Amino acid sequence: MTPSPTPNGTEKKLAFGAYPEVSLKAARDLRDDARKLLAAGIDPAEKKKQDRHAAKVSAANSFLVVAQSYIAKCKREGHAEATTTKQEWLLKLLDRAIGQRPIAEIQPFEMLEAVRKHETTGRTEAAHRALQFASQVFRFAIANQLAASDPTRDLRGALTSHKSKHHAAILEPKKAGELLRAIDGYDGHPGTTSENETLNRIDCLSRLKARASVAAQRMISPVRRKSRRHAVHRAAGRSCRAAEARSIDERRGADVSAAGRPARRAGAALRSRGRRAA
């Protein structure tokens, strides 16, 4: 196909392939598509070059490569080692299903199949965590112009909700004290533990004892706070009653003083008269 000349007067040609690999009918269809692009103001040769480059970039940026770049970015930002280790573990869960797929071509159904196989084996929490990690990778790819959308966005509610399991805990202060005494009394068996293992075990028991002490304090502190509030209320009540008693006594003293005031005045008058007579 020979398109119209370019603005600088040069002529551009567009090849669709060699015959017989490309049939005449296919070549005519490709020619018609190119003419439609020309009518819309788009250069078919430039578009073909851009599509070829996009396919090359897409093939080079698989989910595995982009996820590794995202984990490396998290490490540079100073994320905890436990966090990045967990991310690498989640990447291994997804690698076999979508690791080699171009990240821009991954569809929601592929993402669902990749995590659902973990859900069917009873690992619902792992499936949810893997889906969350994949969403983070897709958002990273979108920010770096490697993908157009996040396919996990349409999968909310597709997995079974994970039910957390609560482990046994000591809720009574007396039993917490028994645990502390048991920790203090356990030294390990010298015949089955080396010196380093014994030291490590003592260190672990010390940390466990500290955590148990904190838990015991948390259990006891509400009772102490309640008794402290009661003591404050009792002291405030005693202060109010004492103030009321003092007020009553002062009123009574004022009444007695007012009642005896005329007698004191009469006595003073008699004494002054006696002094005058004398």
Both 184 and 148 in one domain: the answer is no
The DSSP output letter for 3 is P
pLDDT at 205: 64
What string of pLDDT tens digits covers the 278 residues of the chain? 545 555 555 666 777 767 777 777 777 777 777 777 777 777 777 767 766 766 666 667 889 999 999 999 999 999 999 999 999 999 999 999 999 899 988 999 999 999 999 888 888 899 999 999 999 999 999 999 888 899 998 888 888 887 777 777 777 777 877 877 887 776 666 555 555 565 566 666 667 667 666 666 665 555 555 565 566 556 666 666 666 666 666 666 655 455 555 556 666 666 666 566 55
Same domain, 73 and 146: yes
127 and 67 share one domain: yes
Residue 220 lies in a domain: yes
Q: Are 94 and 46 in the same domain?
A: no
Domain membership of residue 78 (yes or no) is yes
In a domain, 270, yes or no: no
Beta bridge partners of 102: 62
Which one of 60, 83, 104 terminates a domain? 60
Report phi then psi at 62, rounded to 5.
-75, 170
What are the distances in angstroms from CA 132 to CA 63, 101, 103, 122, 270?
A: 14, 18, 16, 18, 106
Same domain, 5 and 48: yes
Per the domain annotation, does 260 fall within a domain? Answer: no
Instruction: Return the pLDDT at 54.
Output: 65
Q: What is the pTM of this model?
A: 0.47
Residue 266 lies inside a defined structural domain of this protein: no
Is residue 101 located within the same domain as residue 17? no
Final residue in a domain of this structure, among 97, 124, 155 = 155
Q: What is the pLDDT of residue 36?
A: 76
- Residue 265's pLDDT is what? 63
Q: Whole domain around residue 237: which residue ranges?
A: 173-243
- Whether 217 is in a domain gets the answer yes
Strands (E), the chain: none
Output the domain CATH number for residue 78.
1.10.150.130
182 and 234 assigned to the same domain: yes
Cα separation of 27 and 46, whole Å? Answer: 18
DSSP, residue by residue, 52-101: HHHHHHHHHSBHHHHHHHHHHHHHHTT--HHHHHHHHHHHHHHHHHHTTS
Within a domain: 276: no
Instruction: Give the total number of structural domains in the chain.
Output: 3
Query: For residue 18, what pLDDT is reported?
Result: 75
Q: Same domain, yes or no, for 30 and 74?
A: no
Residue 69 and residue 45 share a domain: no
Q: Which of 155, 183, 199 is the last residue of a domain?
A: 155
pLDDT at 82: 93
Specify if 194 maps to a domain.
yes
Q: Give the pLDDT score at 240.
A: 60
Q: Are residues 145 and 125 part of one domain?
A: yes
Do 54 and 97 fall within a single domain? no
Same domain? 56 vs 78: no
